[in-house]
Amino acid sequence: MRISCPPFDPVHCDDPDLLDSAFYAHGDPHALWARLRAENPVYRCDPGDGREPFWVVTRHQDVSRVLRDYETFSSRRGTMLCIVDLSMPDIASDDMMPDTDPPRHRQLREPLNRALTPRAVSEQKEPIREIVRSVLRPALDGRTIDIAQEALMFPMAFTGTLMGLPQEHWPRMAELTTRTIAYDDPDYSTGSPTSTVRQAHHELFEFFREEISRRVPTDPGTDLIGILRSMELDEGPLSERQLILNCYALLLGANVTTPHALSTMVALMGEHPEQFRMAREDPGLRAGCVREVLRWSSPASHFMRYATRDVDLGGGTIRTDEPVSVWLGSANRDERAFDDPYRFDITRHPNRHLAFGIGPHYCIGAGLAQLGLRVFLDELLDLVAEVEPAGEVAHLASNFVAGYKSMPVRLVPRHRNAPTVVGSE
Ligand code: HEM
């Protein structure tokens, strides 16, 4: 998705088609969101083709309220606007962590959460550094690399490790997870949108089924799949189906988001070299730089909830059972929440971005993603003097993920004998 700034080209937003994936590949969602925030912050979008209307919430304060108030805005009927009919029941309801509400949600989340705290994942720091170096070092000879493509494998390498997934499957799994969210992107579609998603799900679920059955029944193991296998729900272990769905949630959460924050970081280093020079000179600014890259990129564009009662929000009345989508990319540019929101500023303080959501479903992988981005930043600053654009950028056609398909760049190396500076913060 294009990350645009004002002054925006005039856009036709009288009847915006927020479901249309092509709009995210070729249109200007930031321009539309700015207008919605100003004129219609809780907007009822009616696709007008028989699909169910849904609410579009674009201001930071309203987005936070929806995500926090799980009693009024439930996750049980699904959390993504997608190709399926929004009035249909969700097959993962109450079984897959993202599609449950507290208190059941806590039972699924807490054991995994303990394994994913920033402290718990800090052991991954050096392995992640090796992965980052293996991506960056070959690119220092002046060749053009497509950082968007390189980045796709990055989360697979650490989430695949934490889940104990065999490495030979990683490239295919990365491809399949992207297909589930870019089902009508010509480069990822394998038929109709529905069949693309079904085929990708089928193959991914088979990977997980095989992986689960490969494990010794009496020894669940200590990796994330092991934790899922030792969990209790409804007074017993998770069923095979519940195991598969939760493996899928973890992998999808990591794979479809992290690469785009990383590519955006590289693009930003090209566009705002002075900000990255500051971060190079002062490692104390690097955590802020990662936060600002997350605000700027907002890789997960929206999430969805269903109203459990009639509720007034931002001047509109949402009725029981109606779907409500919240737009994180828009909330992260809300002029009511951020000073000069279209300025990329690594010293921004406070920076209450919503890239990881907020409330009970706050991203469980946030610690891992931030560690990965931080190590990537440290290595980028250490190894690369400058980023030069080297061709046309292409955006992913997806209403869910704000991402890149292609970003050709050249990385200009720093002096070969420059000392290695790794931030301490
Ligand atoms: C830059 C990277 C990432 C971004 C921007 C991101 C974004 C988000 C957001 C916005 C949510 C909230 C969803 C909601 O409210 O319904 C979420 C939840 C989730 N994320 Fe992430 N995520 C990232 C990385 C990861 C990683 C690395 C993992 C895997 C370890 C992961 C796994 C999940 C899971 C399983 C959930 C559901 C949590 C729950 O329902 O309690 N994410 N993510």
pLDDT at residue 425 greater than cutoff 70: no
* pLDDT digits 0-9 by tens, 13-53: 666 788 899 999 999 999 999 999 999 999 999 888 888 89
CB 395 within 8 A of CB 25: yes
In this structure, is residue 419 part of a structural domain?
Answer: no
pLDDT in tens, 80-95: 997 666 777 788 999 9
What per-residue confidence (pLDDT) applies to 11? 67
Residue 12 lies in a domain: no
Task: Report if residue 7 sits inside a domain.
Answer: no
**Under 8 Å CB-to-CB from 2, ≥6 apart: which residues?**
27, 28, 29, 30, 395
Residue 400, ligand 1, Cβ within 6 A:
no
pLDDT for position 89: 73
Give 356 Cα–ligand 1 centroid separation in angstroms.
Answer: 6
Most confident of 39-48, 57-66, 115-124, 137-146: 57-66
**271: in domain:** yes
- List b or e across 273-283, with b for residues whose CB sees 16 or more CB atoms inside 10 angstroms: eebbebbbeeb
355 in ligand 1 pocket by Cβ < 6 Å? yes
Cα separation, 41 vs 60, whole angstroms: 10
Kindly give the distance from the C-alpha atom of residue 368 to the centroid of ligand 1, in angstroms, as a whole number: 10
More confident residue, 294 or 13: 294
Pocket flag, ligand 1, residue 299 (CB < 6 Å): yes
Per-residue pLDDT of 193-225, as tens digits, reads 899 999 999 999 999 999 999 987 778 788 999
Q: Is residue 420 part of a domain?
A: no
Please tell me the predicted confidence (pLDDT) of residue 16.
72
What is the arithmetic mean of pLDDT over 138-157? 93
Per-residue burial over 166-184, b if 16 or more Cβ lie within 10 Å, else e, is: eeebbeebbbbbbbbbbbb
Instruction: Decide whether any atom of ligand 1 lies within 6 Å of the 369 Cβ.
Output: yes
CA 83/CA 194 separation, integer angstroms = 7
* 300 alpha carbon – ligand 1 mean position (Å): 8
Report the pLDDT value the prediction gives residue 384, as an integer from 0 to 100.
97
pLDDT higher than 90, residue 404? yes
Decide whether any atom of ligand 1 lies within 6 Å of the 264 Cβ.
no
> Which atom of ligand 1 is nearest to 299's Cα?
5
Minimal-distance CA residue to ligand 1 atom 39: 361
Q: In the structure, what pLDDT confidence band is assigned to residue 12 with cuts at 50, 70 and 90?
A: low
Q: What percent of the chain has pLDDT over 90?
A: 85
Cβ–ligand 1 distance for 207 under 6 Å, the answer: no
pLDDT at residue 417 greater than cutoff 80: no
Number of independent structural domains in the chain: 1
Give me ligand 1 centre to Cα 116, in Å: 12
CATH code of 288's domain: 1.10.630.10
- Type of residue numbered 363: C
Percentage of the chain surpassing pLDDT 70?
95
For residues 171-188, give the mean pLDDT: 94
Residue 260 lies in a domain: yes
**Residue 188: inside a domain:** yes
pLDDT over 90 at 421, yes or no: no
Centre of ligand 1 from the C-alpha of residue 87, in Å: 24
Distance CA 147, CA 144 (A): 9
Domain assignment of residue 132, yes or no: yes
Angle at 299 between CA 298 and CA 301, to 5 degrees: 80
Q: Return mean pLDDT, the chain.
A: 93
> How sure is the predictor about 368, in pLDDT bands with cuts at 50, 70 and 90?
very high
**pLDDT (0 to 100) of residue 110:** 96
Provide the domain limits for residue 175.
Answer: 21-413
For residue 422, pLDDT over 80 is answered with: no
Residue from 74, 228, 364, 398 to probe ligand 1 pocket by mutation (most atoms less than 8 Å from CB): 364
Q: Is the CB of 298 under 6 A from ligand 1?
A: no
